[in-house]
A and B are shown apart, each in its own frame.
Chain A
Amino acid sequence: MKLNKIGVAAVALATTAVATVALAQVRDQIRVVGSSTVFPYSQAVAEEFANLTGSRAPIVESTGTGGGFQVFCAGIGPSNADVTGASRAIKASEYELCVANGVTDITELQLGYDGLSIAVSRASTFDWNLTEAQIFQALAAEVEVDGAVVPNPYTNWSQIDPSLPDVTITVFGPPPTSGTRDAFVELAMHDGCAEFPAIQALEAARRTDVCSRMRQDGPFVEAGENDNLIVQRIISDPTTIGIFGYSFLYENSDTLKAVAVEGIVPTFETIADFSYAIARPIFIYVKNQHRGVIPGLDDFVAEFVSDAALAPGGYLAERGLTPLSDELRAEMQDRALNAVTMDPAV
């Protein structure tokens, strides 16, 4: 008899638990999604915002840039995200998705720059300096040899250029789902590819394919989204090279050293003025239709672009963000505070 009652009570509890969801429709927490590159910065702003204002801590989720836009553009209302971070500008197709779902009033804010670093262990004795063409030759699926486009034959760095060490090419990098990989292909591989006349002579679709495809035969290892894992693997073997966000190089400067690209080593300065070749701007996108509806969103966005966060020496720079110029920062602050709607044409 007793058991009977307990069973009934448990079922009833479970049902009420499900039913309470209907009540949870109003949201009093800000929700941030988006790129894993922007994630540490969103984290910092969310923590600072919660500490300073005492309001409920925003929910920050790392979904990747593309995944972030999928969630962000899903519509208006408490179940959709308010802010998304992106390690590239919004694509036309993503903007159309937003508009189709009624998300028409978006503010685009550039936060700063992020450098992709190529690094080796400090134990490596060689002073690495690669050109973008060499990076392409080492990592592309197909390369140009004697005027012909052939499957990548290189297995040792010295085969590409005799001045490079005679070690096997082993490079750990991000998988195709990652925004870091997109950026690496676009910024390093495409530029390197442009220096090979036979590839440039190919018809457009084939050329893009050759320039974008990373090799699958071993020397390039997709090491998963976890940058710490790449760091540990390259430390344990000084002949291997890793590709990851600059903040990881910055945090691990005692065990890693940068590979110079086109003779330039990544630092905050060389990333900001784009003299370091593999740097990109990073953005957040704010859903203005949620301002005034989700409590605290205005203040949160204001905190995101405040001098305390974005200025040189601000707490985002401490986490590895390369800051904007003063004029650009002032423009972003103006955009953020006045909720300036972005113009998709630009």
Chain B
Amino acid sequence: MTVIDAPATGPDWSSAASNANRRRRYAADRRLRIYGLTAIIIAVGVLVILLATVLTGGASAFVQTRVTVEFTIDPELVSADNIQRGNYRQIITNAVAELFPEIADDRTALTAAGRILTSNAQFFVRDAVVADPSLIGRTLTLAIPASDPFDQLNKGTIARDLPEEQRRVNDRDTALFDQLVDRGLVSTPFNWGLFFNADSRFPELAGLRGAIIGSFYLLLVTLLVSVPVGIAAAIYLEEFARRGRWSRLIEVNINNLAAVPSVVFGLLGLAVFINFFGLPRSAPLVGGLVLSLMTLPTIIIVTRAALKAVPPSIREAAYGIGASKHQMVLHHVLPLALPGILTGTIIGMAQALGETAPLLLVGMNAFLTAAPGGITDAATALPTQIYIWADSSERGFVAKTSAGIVVLLLFLIVMNAVAIFLRRRLERTW
């Protein structure tokens, strides 16, 4: 037997070529890391810029300038048997004249001074008197929102050093307003009206109440339609359907549907629900149906994934103790898949909450000064309300728009937090 020479040694790891090769590969590693890091920095940076602009832009809308005024409810102007129809405009004028005795005889100056208060001041007084008729003949002290130009002046949005003709508020009215400030009658409390008022054409009164309730009804309809249908479809596809050409075709189509731009669903809703079935325009019912079409694929896909994640042993065990197929699914598999389904549903709902385009097409961008009372009433939703405000000419709506975005983001963060919490809490491992 001949001894075979040891084979030629392997590559020489210390040769110049292999050193160069190693350096190249390390450099590539470092580059990849830098690319990744840069991408993250860009993403976080953009997010920070977005949040910073929205928060700084919207901050001023979270407070509201109010002027404390004493109103004398003159029995001659408001009669006890027809409180609703009293001459409240005159009561306001009288109160303003009392505030500024020096201009009480100058009608034009008085009218101009009256514009420091919101134009709807008379309705504040009326509502207070209607709620408590014993006020007639007494005085009533209310903190009335200041009108938009003075609100902006007080918040510093309107620069005082500009020439007078370039400002919405002239020097005389500014002086009157400053006089109120000096007397301590002007306050800037937190603007609860942003949440509890319905929409208004006056930025100082406009709030999100109608939009929040409208969004609630929208999500209710979406939930009631898309969750049962989505889960039922997923159970059928996952547990009952035979694998074949048809189930594959349906699967591909569901995945495609998930990628269809939302505006297409809006057009579909307009053509089918409104024009064909004659459902009312602008109603959360129609909006909700459209949004359920949009979330349905998401829910089906998520539910199927959750069902698939339940180990086959559970199914076998259920069969083993004599369960029928529907008992196996409803008693064992579905409850175990529920956490996954729940998180998927919440994320789908969060998506639906922020959707705008399909709602514009079914008319949910109407101007409404009252909150909807049901799913067939005309309504707006949070994103469409932001859209309406963004399009309004008054200065105050610029900040209102950002404030609306902040509120919408808060809702989205809460919904996603709930989804994460549920997933952590209910998650089960086998």
Q: Which residues of A contact B (CB under 8 A)?
A: 1, 3-4, 7, 10-11, 13-14, 17-18, 20-21, 24, 27, 29, 31, 36, 39-40, 42-44, 46-47, 50-51, 54, 56-57, 59-63, 79, 122, 225-229, 245, 247-248, 250-254, 315, 318-320
Residues of B near A17 (CB, < 8 A) are 221, 224-225, 285, 375
Question: Given contacts A24-B280, A51-B120, is CB(A254)–CB(B231) below 8 Å?
Answer: no
Residues of B near A24 (CB, < 8 A) are 280, 283, 376
Assess the B391–A254 pair: CB atoms within 8 A: no
Q: Of residues 166 to 209 in B, which have CB atoms within 8 Å of A's CB atoms?
A: 166-168, 198, 200-201
Assess the B119–A315 pair: CB atoms within 8 A: yes
16 other A-B residue contacts (CB within 8 Å) besides A31-B378, A251-B395: A10-B227, A14-B224, A27-B280, A40-B393, A43-B201, A46-B367, A47-B200, A50-B369, A57-B370, A61-B367, A226-B390, A228-B390, A251-B394, A253-B166, A254-B159, A320-B393
Per-residue CB contact flags for chain B residues 388-408 toward chain A (1 = under 8 Å, else 0) read 001111110110000000000
Q: Of residues 86 to 128 in B, which have CB atoms within 8 Å of A's CB atoms?
A: 119-120, 123
| Nearest B residue (CB) for A9 | B228
Residues of B near A245 (CB, < 8 A) are 393
Which of B2-10, B66-74, B327-335 is the contact stretch? Answer: B327-335
B158 within 8 A of A: yes
Residues of B near A315 (CB, < 8 A) are 119
| Nearest B residue (CB) for A77 | B278
B249 within 8 A of A: no
Question: Given contacts A3-B335, A254-B167, is CB(A61)–CB(B282) below 8 Å?
Answer: yes
Indicate the member of A39, A59, A122 with the most B CB atoms within 10 Å. Answer: A59
Complex Cα spacing A210 to B88, Å: 57
Indicate the member of B159, B221, B363 with the most A CB atoms within 10 Å. Answer: B363
A248 partner, pick from B123, B232, B377, B393, beta carbons under 8 A: B393
Assess the A62–B365 pair: CB atoms within 8 A: yes
Assess the A254–B166 pair: CB atoms within 8 A: yes
Residues of A near B365 (CB, < 8 A) are 61-62
Q: Of residues 214 to 263 in B, which have CB atoms within 8 Å of A's CB atoms?
A: 221, 224-225, 227-229, 231-232
Complex Cα spacing A59 to B277, Å: 21
Complex Cα spacing A56 to B374, Å: 14
Per-residue CB contact flags for chain B residues 342-372 toward chain A (1 = under 8 Å, else 0) read 0000000000000000000001011111100
- The list of the 3 closest CB pairs from A to B, nearest first, reads A24-B376, A60-B367, A57-B369
Assess the A4–B367 pair: CB atoms within 8 A: no
A7 partner, pick from B231, B376, B377, beta carbons under 8 A: B231
Assess the B330–A228 pair: CB atoms within 8 A: no
B84 within 8 A of A: yes
B304 within 8 A of A: no
Residues of B near A18 (CB, < 8 A) are 285, 289
Assess the A228–B391 pair: CB atoms within 8 A: yes
Report the count of interface residues on B (CB-CB < 8 A).
54
Residues of A near B393 (CB, < 8 A) are 40, 227-228, 245, 247-248, 250-252, 319-320
Taking the closest CB of chain A, its distance from the CB of B290, in whole angstroms, is 13
Complex Cα spacing A59 to B391, Å: 17
A251 partner, pick from B84, B168, B225, beta carbons under 8 A: B168
B398 partner, pick from A39, A43, A228, A247, beta carbons under 8 A: A228
A254 partner, pick from B162, B331, B369, beta carbons under 8 A: B162
Indicate the member of B225, B278, B366, B392 with the most A CB atoms within 10 Å. Answer: B366
Taking the closest CB of chain B, its distance from the CB of A160, in whole angstroms, is 29
Assess the B378–A29 pair: CB atoms within 8 A: yes
Residues of A near B331 (CB, < 8 A) are 1
Residues of A near B415 (CB, < 8 A) are none
B279 within 8 A of A: yes
Residues of A near B376 (CB, < 8 A) are 20-21, 24
| Nearest A residue (CB) for B111 | A313
Taking the closest CB of chain B, its distance from the CB of A287, in whole angstroms, is 15
A21 partner, pick from B227, B280, B335, B395, beta carbons under 8 A: B280
Complex Cα spacing A252 to B168, Å: 8
Residue contacts A-B, CB under 8 angstroms, 13 given: A1-B331, A10-B224, A14-B228, A21-B280, A43-B201, A46-B367, A54-B84, A61-B367, A122-B166, A254-B158, A254-B167, A319-B201, A320-B393
Assess the A3–B84 pair: CB atoms within 8 A: no
Assess the A3–B334 pair: CB atoms within 8 A: yes
Residues of A near B398 (CB, < 8 A) are 228
Residues of B near A247 (CB, < 8 A) are 393
Complex Cα spacing A44 to B202, Å: 9
| Nearest A residue (CB) for B198 | A57
| Nearest A residue (CB) for B159 | A254
Residues of B near A11 (CB, < 8 A) are 228-229
Assess the A21–B279 pair: CB atoms within 8 A: yes
Question: Given contacts A14-B225, A20-B376, A21-B279, is CB(A253)–CB(B167) below 8 Å?
Answer: yes
Assess the A252–B395 pair: CB atoms within 8 A: yes
Q: Of residues 263 to 284 in B, which have CB atoms within 8 Å of A's CB atoms?
A: 277-283
Residues of A near B375 (CB, < 8 A) are 17, 20
B369 partner, pick from A7, A39, A47, beta carbons under 8 A: A47
Complex Cα spacing A4 to B231, Å: 12
Taking the closest CB of chain A, its distance from the CB of B276, in whole angstroms, is 12
Complex Cα spacing A319 to B278, Å: 35
Residues of A near B395 (CB, < 8 A) are 251-252
B224 partner, pick from A13, A27, A226, A248, beta carbons under 8 A: A13
Taking the closest CB of chain A, its distance from the CB of B310, in whole angstroms, is 14
Residues of A near B390 (CB, < 8 A) are 226, 228-229
Complex Cα spacing A57 to B370, Å: 6
Taking the closest CB of chain B, its distance from the CB of A2, in whole angstroms, is 9
Complex Cα spacing A57 to B375, Å: 16
Residues of A near B368 (CB, < 8 A) are 57, 59-60
Taking the closest CB of chain B, its distance from the CB of A57, in whole angstroms, is 4
Complex Cα spacing A319 to B168, Å: 12
B201 partner, pick from A1, A29, A44, beta carbons under 8 A: A44
Taking the closest CB of chain A, its distance from the CB of B357, in whole angstroms, is 14
Complex Cα spacing A13 to B221, Å: 10
Q: Of residues 139 to 181 in B, which have CB atoms within 8 Å of A's CB atoms?
A: 158-159, 162, 165-168
Complex Cα spacing A51 to B124, Å: 10
Taking the closest CB of chain A, its distance from the CB of B77, in whole angstroms, is 16
Taking the closest CB of chain A, its distance from the CB of B65, in whole angstroms, is 18
| Nearest A residue (CB) for B162 | A254
Complex Cα spacing A326 to B225, Å: 56
Residues of A near B378 (CB, < 8 A) are 29, 31, 59
A40 partner, pick from B84, B201, B277, B330, beta carbons under 8 A: B201
| Nearest A residue (CB) for B231 | A7
Taking the closest CB of chain B, its distance from the CB of A320, in whole angstroms, is 7
